[in-house]
């Protein structure tokens, strides 16, 4: 291997290493503070980061915005819960479960890692089944179809009480998700998202994002590339759902649907991705950190007040909406226009490139090539 090849490999690995270092430093800081509130906030943020990275893997590379990825989160949460709840509890809470499921679900007692992987796998399997109907759509049609997918999953969970407890809260789920475990999964997700983006499949998919007809003209099978990204992102979201279930322990179908009274797990990840920048993994991380900071600052102000001033209820969501609108108005591509540059490339011009500002010309994102070279 030549020095040039080593240098090229180092440059490709720099972005995930830098972003991973940020996540590790966050873990070290919060772990040393040993504060319950900060720990809870950080775990929530990293769980959101997993979902945002799953969204970025599909929507960021394909240009097709999905509103239905939380359906995969729900599948991962319920699947892992069913397979890890102690059998003695399941026998009393799932009395009417169909025999073909009860024969292997009720006696099952997987450990957390096994339950998480199975939850992600089932989410990916479901994504594979519905992918033929999704990956051929784009624009408004794709948005409506993915939103319908979320509604279908929500109705199914609410109506199949014999399997999911329906509208009742899920109970008996082991508390196994920790700050350390979710940090490890976040590092894996960052590496997977960057690796997929830099792969030949990711390169072809990004070519179709810029111009689907041109990509097809050079032999790119757009539907196949989108389908692979769709399934992989579903697995990542399923893993996030399993970790979510094992952290909050008690959850219901409402936790995976639109929520106007608290943390909206459907819209918040999309806002994080759009604000940070859909086309880059760096943007996904930046958006997640930024929106979490803004959300927590105003939420605490709304709850506890500051200097005797207590804003009206809903201020936090209003501020988030304003942040999203201002970002879309001033920076339609998001705050970050490319991946973290190599250390020797850091400069004022490099910072402008990172933020997507290059005198009105679209910034060529790190590692991207024209669609023709991906054939």
What pLDDT does 336 receive?
87
Is the CB of residue 239 less than 8 Å from the CB of residue 249? no
Average pLDDT over residues 263-275: 86
Query: What Å distances lie between residue 319 and 51, 108, 141, 268, 314, CA to CA?
Result: 22, 45, 29, 13, 9
Place of tokens 């957390």: 112
E-state strands within the chain? none
Q: How many CB atoms lie within 10 A of CB 99?
A: 6
Whether the predicted pLDDT of 347 surpasses 50:
yes
Average pLDDT over residues 18-24: 94
- DSSP assignment of 287-349 equals HHHHHHHHHHHHHHHHHH-BTTB-PPTTHHHHHHHHHHHHHHHH-TT-S--SPPPPGGG-SHH
Tens digit of pLDDT for each residue in 168-185? 888 889 999 999 999 999
pLDDT band at 354 (very low <50, low <70, confident <90, very high): low
Residue, of 75 and 218, whose pLDDT is higher: 75
Distance CA 261, CA 264 (A): 8
Q: What pTM was estimated for this model as a whole?
A: 0.88
Query: What Å distances lie between residue 258 and 254, 271, 276, CA to CA?
Result: 7, 14, 22
pLDDT band at 351 (very low <50, low <70, confident <90, very high): low
Whether the predicted pLDDT of 2 surpasses 70:
yes
Tens digit of pLDDT for each residue in 81-99? 999 999 999 888 888 888 8
Tens digit of pLDDT for each residue in 37-50? 999 999 999 999 99
Residue, of 363 and 341, whose pLDDT is higher: 341
Q: Point out the least confidently predicted range of 71-75, 198-202, 232-236.
A: 198-202
């Amino acid at each position: 291997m030549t020095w040039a090849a080593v240098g090229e490999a180092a440059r490709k690995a720099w972005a995930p290493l830098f972003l991973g270092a940020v996540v590790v430093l966050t873990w070290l800081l919060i772990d040393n503070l040993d504060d319950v509130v900060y720990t809870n906030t950080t775990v929530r943020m990293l769980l959101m980061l997993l979902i945002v990275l799953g969204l970025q893997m599909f929507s960021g590379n394909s240009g097709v915005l999905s509103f239905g990825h939380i359906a995969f989160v729900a599948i991962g949460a319920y699947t892992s819960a069913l397979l890890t709840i102690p059998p003695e509890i399941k026998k009393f809470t799932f009395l009417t479960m169909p025999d073909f499921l009860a024969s292997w679900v009720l006696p099952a007692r997987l450990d957390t890692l096994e339950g998480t992987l199975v939850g992600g796998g089932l989410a990916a399997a479901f994504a594979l089944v519905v992918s033929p109907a999704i990956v051929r759509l784009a624009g408004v049609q794709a948005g409506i179809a993915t939103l319908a997918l979320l509604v279908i999953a929500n109705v199914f969970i609410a109506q199949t009480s014999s399997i999911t407890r329906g509208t009742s809260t899920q109970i008996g789920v082991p508390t196994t998700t920790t700050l350390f475990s979710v940090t490890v999964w976040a590092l894996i997700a960052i590496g997977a998202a960057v690796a997929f983006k830099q792969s030949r499949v990711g390169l072809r998919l990004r070519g179709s994002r810029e111009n689907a007809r041109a990509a097809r003209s050079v032999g790119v099978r757009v539907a196949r590339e989108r389908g692979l990204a769709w399934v992989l992102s579903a697995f990542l979201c399923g893993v996030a759902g399993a970790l979510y279930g094992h952290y909050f322990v008690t959850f219901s179908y409402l936790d995976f649907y639109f929520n106007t009274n608290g943390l909206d797990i459907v819209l918040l990840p999309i806002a994080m991705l759009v604000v940070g920048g859909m086309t880059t993994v760096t943007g996904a991380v930046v958006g997640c950190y930024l929106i979490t900071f803004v959300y927590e600052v105003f939420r605490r102000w709304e709850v506890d007040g500051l200097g005797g001033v207590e804003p009206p209820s809903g201020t936090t969501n209003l501020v988030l909406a304003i942040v999203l609108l201002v970002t879309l108005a001033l920076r339609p591509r998001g705050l970050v226009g490319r991946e973290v540059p190599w250390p020797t490339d850091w400069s004022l011009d490099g910072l402008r490139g990172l933020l997507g500002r290059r005198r009105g010309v679209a910034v060529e994102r790190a590692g991207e090539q024209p669609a023709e070279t991906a054939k």
